[in-house]
């Protein structure tokens, strides 16, 4: 399972494109999403921590909305600890739109560090490039799974 960290503003892209593409039968890669996988009645932060710890990788869906969200920063902070401090290097970065690293708020210094140390996938605006995007994403997830 892959924990998916995203801004609520990007949930439409995740639900309409990412989930169907990754969870269809031949791909069968389960995603952990706030809306459907968090335990009702539990603290949000506890759900985040528990989900990241149980997932074999963390997907970050990055956008301008992501870098403006405090909740995304909390998720990034915990995932950063899990990734770097526990030597668990299973993170996949998806850029929904170009983000100038210089425009990332200072409180997101860990995001800058991750973006400087990991190759990320950019969502193509050209539809004919999307098959390659999906192929590369699935390859990254298979690599992290093994």
In three-state secondary structure terms, 59 is: strand
Contact call for residues 97 and 123 (beta carbons, < 8 A) = yes
CATH number of the domain within which 69 lies: 3.40.50.10140
pLDDT of residue 3: 92
pLDDT of residue 49: 87
36-82 pLDDT tens trace: 999 999 998 899 889 988 888 889 999 999 988 988 888 888 877 76
81-136 pLDDT tens trace: 766 655 556 889 999 998 877 778 877 787 887 787 778 999 999 999 999 999 99
How far the first Cα of the chain sits from its last, in Å, is 12
Going 66 to 69 to 72 to 74, the CA torsion angle's sign is positive
Residue 146 has pLDDT above 70, yes or no: no
Domain count for the chain:
1
Cα dist from 11 to 65, 94, 128, 141, whole Å: 11, 13, 23, 20
Which structural domain range is residue 75 located in?
A: 2-145
2-46 pLDDT tens trace: 999 999 999 999 999 999 999 986 768 999 998 899 999 999 889
Residue 145 has pLDDT above 80, yes or no: no
- % helix / strand / coil in the chain, to the nearest 5? 60, 15, 25
pLDDT of residue 53: 85
Contact call for residues 52 and 1 (beta carbons, < 8 A) = no
Tokens of 96: 């929904």
């Amino acid at each position: 399972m892959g924990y998916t960290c995203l801004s609520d503003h990007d949930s439409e892209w995740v639900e309409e494109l990412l989930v169907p593409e990754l969870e269809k039968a031949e791909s069968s890669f389960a995603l952990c999403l706030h809306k459907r996988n968090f335990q009702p009645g539990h603290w949000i932060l506890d759900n985040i921590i528990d989900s990241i710890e149980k997932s074999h990788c963390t997907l970050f869906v990055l956008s301008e909305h992501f870098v403006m969200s405090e909740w995304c920063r909390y998720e990034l902070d915990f995932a950063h600890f899990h990734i770097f401090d526990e030597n668990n290097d299973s993170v996949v970065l998806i850029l929904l739109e170009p983000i100038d690293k210089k425009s990332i708020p200072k409180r997101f210094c860990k995001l800058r560090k991750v973006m400087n140390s990991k190759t990320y996938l950019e969502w193509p605006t050209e539809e004919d490039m999307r098959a390659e995007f999906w192929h590369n994403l699935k390859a990254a997830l298979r690599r992290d799974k093994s």
